[in-house]
Structure 1
Amino acid sequence: MIEQTDKFLRNLVTKKQMPQSMLDRLRPSRTESELPHLYYNPKDHKLGEPLRPIVSGMKSPLSKIASFLDRLIRPLFDKHTPYALSNSIIFLKHLKQFKTTSETNLYTFDITDLYTMIPQKEAVLAICEFLGRHGYRKVQGLTINTIKEMFMHILENSYFVLQLPGLKPKFYRQIKGGAMGSACTQVLADIYVRKWENEFVQQQQQQGELYLRFRDDVFLTTRLPQEQIKFFLSEINKKGPNLTITWEGGQTVDYLDVTTTIEIPNFRTKVFRKLATQPYVLPFHSSHPIHIKRNIPYAAALRATRICSHLEDLRNELEKIRITLLLNKYPPRFIDKHIGRFFQDVTEQRTSELLLRERHQTYRERTLEPEGNKKRRKKDRVW
């Protein structure tokens, strides 16, 4: 793999498809490169604890090229895909701008085993079409054809080793999908799904409905009758022979770490926890630096305030946070101090009562702002 990859990159330079300086950054190390290995992580948040296959390729001869392609294509995908989410804060901002009606229903669907099921050639072709459609003849000096060759080199040389206890190692090449662990698999899947979902996205936008996606999880609103949306989702399921979706819907759905319920004219949101979630955080008596422990109650209170749109839900969530921290041996005074530190930073008061009473929505808005607005917020005091 080292020799093949080095030869591939040198050929790109020889054919003037890539500058020499890029070769120096992307060529694999002959002394540090290792063959990727397969291991499994249990999905302990799901019933039966199924396994997630991970190909560890941090020292793979292909890792530098994969990381480079992700840095090259990811900003373009984000720029031209406004419905793609990067975190739950962006999700909450979309919800805030949407007005619900008595006919609004919610649906979520999950694309099963997305990363290991995408067809390789079709996924690379989708990236080429995406770049061409948005007018990119070159990206950072590389033509679409060169980018295509780099993606195909990674996929066609996706070798890994599996060694089980007491057995000899076995060597494999992945022939479908991308390696879970490769830096470019995410953007490859994102753009393939972008092409697959395009028709549905356009329909949602024309009807003034939401369509939001975080990786392989989709959230949408609709005023269509239930039977009609079920038929449409079943048709989507047939559209991509390699992709299968599972879906659920109703007046309340769980998406990312948010439980969303329809209320008119705005959504009601609160923190969502999976059924298998246990009340564990970093134990107070662990050997970690104290600043990490200080930030755990602070960050939990911040998350609760961002997500909970109603005071009652926020109060309940703060109580759950306190119980979880107490179970992990955090002293009560320590908990109150650092949850209080969060409230003081947000409200610029020494009490949480302003946030937990009449000015709840005002202060919640502040938690949804970028971190860079802290200085501006200090000038906007409420006396």
Structure 2
Amino acid sequence: MEYSKIKYRPNLFRKENTILKELQANPDIRVMKPDKEGGVVIMDNITYKGKMNHILMDEVTYSSVSNNEVNIAYKRIDNVLEDLYMEGLIDEKTLRFLRVDKPRLPSIFKIPKTHENEKDPPLRPIVSAEESKTLPLAKYVDNKLKQLWVNRKAILKDSWDFLKEITPELFHDELTFITIDINNLFSSIPYREGMDLFEDILFEDTDLTHSEKLVCISLMELVLKYNFFFFKGEFYQQMQDVAMGAACAPTYANLVLAKWEEEYILNSEFATNWTVYKRFLDNIVIFWKGTGELFDEFLVYMKNTTKFLEFTYTLSRDCLQYLDVEIYKADGKFESRVFRKPTFCNSFLHYRSAHPPHCKRNIVKGQYVCGSRMTTSSYDFNKECGLLKEFFLERGYPLDLVGGGGLR
């Protein structure tokens, strides 16, 4: 079968297209993509606006501002950039990149976190910062500093990076799998405490020049301080925490947490009680070999090292569900397989989409390769291939394209 000769048609049936247009024209609802796992969430606008207004009423975090205050702040940003140029800390090319003469004020929206509560999901704030005054500043900081956290041993890049750490010699029958979530990380780092940790870890680095460190600190302060957005015609400023939607937000949060971990966690007296301590942004995983009583002491110790981080945890002797992989014990060794949250929704690209044929072939191949990498037993791999086959057939893929996930 020649896939390049497929005749492409709309991947929605007439009835589905009619329903979609009705939803689009309905002013009383909001159709949103959930925070994780794909799918669609429909929420009535009254509920959505109520949740948004409740969040923005937090006067500690947000402040209503005028258009004039925004313009004054933007002028201050230009002045700081001009000072950095006059002091020789940045060149003219960098100055041109960092300056935005006709910025667009970011807008805020929120996406539902259905993985936390499917029936009444809380909302995650997102700021659309494209063409904003601080976007190039955030990009500069992210580009300069990303390597500072990427190369740290305790920080994971992805699930595959995590699996490479799970070696046979780490196995122990009495091992306890522990995951610790840092609650609302981006909205919990206070400005001054965060910047102090940020500056400390920058000045410990030997790869960046002194000038680059000073520029990154100055730009990071501007990104955090002048975080403006609008909602329903009103202007707001985020007064504390990490700037929502900033390109450098994950890098900033990772560096702040890395400094905290290095000072209080990784070299603590409790470090002898684990064989693995890894973190992916705000999700910590630990392979604990100590007693339950010692873990309780460690948890109390963790909480006492910080005034702004809060934690929730899960523990299990049998299996670990972390990122999109599940680790479990079987026959005296670790086994792994693909993990999907209960809120998973099959949202693979539909085969009747007008995307080029090679995109669809690569999606199929990529998913089978991912399944092969993440599963260690033949049984789990064959089960994963069967699931993928069902998912792709459900999305209109021909059997001869998706039936290639063979047995091990």
- Which category of TM-score, normalised to the shorter sequence, fits these structures? 0.7 to 0.9
Partner of 1:258: 325
The 5 Å alignment of 1:75-86 reads 75-79=147-151, 81-86=152-157
Contact 1:104 1:262 in 2 (8 A): no
Contact 2:223 2:246 in 1 (8 A): no
Contact 2:223 2:243 in 1 (8 A): no
Contact 1:45 1:276 in 2 (8 A): yes
Taking structure 2 as the reference length, what is the TM-score of the superposition? 0.76
Contact 1:57 1:63 in 2 (8 A): yes
- Name the CA shift for 1:143/1:285 in 2 (closer, same or farther; >3 Å): closer
Partner of 1:237: 303
- How many angstroms does 1:206 deviate by? 4.5
- How many angstroms does 1:208 deviate by? 6.0
Contact 2:303 2:310 in 1 (8 A): yes
- Name the CA shift for 1:281/1:144 in 2 (closer, same or farther; >3 Å): closer
Deviates more, 1:82-91 or 1:205-214: 205-214
Q: Distance in 2 between the 1:134 and 1:242 partners? A: 25
- How many angstroms does 1:184 deviate by? 1.2
Q: Distance in 1 between the 2:158 and 2:133 partners? A: 31
Number of paired residues? 331
- Name the CA shift for 1:211/1:264 in 2 (closer, same or farther; >3 Å): farther
Contact 2:180 2:284 in 1 (8 A): yes
**Which amino acid is 1:260 matched to?**
I
Deviations 1:12-41 (A, max 9, x none): 12233333332122111x23x201111111
2:193 is equivalent to residue 122 of structure 1: yes
Q: Distance in 1 between the 2:331 and 2:257 partners? A: 32
Secondary structure at 1:171 match in 2? strand
Partner of 1:222: 288
- Name the CA shift for 1:179/1:264 in 2 (closer, same or farther; >3 Å): farther
Q: Distance in 1 between the 2:369 and 2:271 partners? A: 32
Instruction: List alignment gaps of at least 5 residues for structure 2.
Output: 1-72
Secondary structure at 1:18 match in 2? coil
Q: Distance in 2 between the 1:221 and 1:148 partners? A: 36
Taking structure 1 as the reference length, what is the TM-score of the superposition? 0.81
Partner of 2:213: 144
- Name the CA shift for 1:13/1:279 in 2 (closer, same or farther; >3 Å): closer
The 5 Å alignment of 1:234-383 reads 234-251=300-317, 252-263=319-330, 266-337=333-404, 339=405, 352-353=406-407, 356=408
2:251 is equivalent to residue 187 of structure 1: yes
Partner of 2:80: 8
2:266 is equivalent to residue 201 of structure 1: yes
- How many angstroms does 1:205 deviate by? 5.4
Instruction: List alignment gaps of at least 5 residues for structure 1.
Output: 164-168, 340-351, 357-383
- How many angstroms does 1:263 deviate by? 4.1
Deviates more, 1:264-273 or 1:68-77: 264-273
- How many angstroms does 1:207 deviate by? 5.1
Higher relative contact order (CA 8 A, sep 6+): 2
Contact 2:138 2:247 in 1 (8 A): yes
**Which amino acid is 2:388 matched to?**
I
Partner of 1:134: 205
2:160 is equivalent to residue 89 of structure 1: yes
Q: How high is the sequence identity, in percent, across the aligned residues?
A: 25
- Name the CA shift for 1:55/1:280 in 2 (closer, same or farther; >3 Å): closer
Q: Distance in 2 between the 1:6 and 1:183 partners? A: 19
- How many angstroms does 1:284 deviate by? 1.9
